[in-house]
């Protein structure tokens, strides 16, 4: 029903925002030479 579709949409929006945030952090970490530190932070 409608609630199930809303839940799927909200999960998708959450996942896309998380991915966008991660990409910003990856770009910054690469430019600052701190990619390994970021990887450890996300793996924790």
44 pLDDT tier (thresholds 50, 70, 90): confident
Q: How many domains does the chain have?
A: 1
Angle 36-20-6 from CA coordinates, rounded to 5° = 135
Cα–Cα distance for residue pair 40/5, rounded to 1 Å: 35
pLDDT higher than 90, residue 10: yes
The predicted structure's pLDDT at residue 25: 97
Question: What's the mean pLDDT in 26-33?
Answer: 98
pLDDT higher than 90, residue 38: yes
Residue numbers of the domain that contains 28:
2-43
């Amino acid at each position: 029903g409608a609630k199930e579709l809303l839940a799927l949409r909200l999960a998708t929006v959450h996942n896309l925002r998380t991915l966008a945030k991660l990409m910003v952090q990856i770009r910054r970490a690469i430019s600052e030479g701190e990619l390994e530190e970021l990887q450890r932070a996300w793996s924790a």
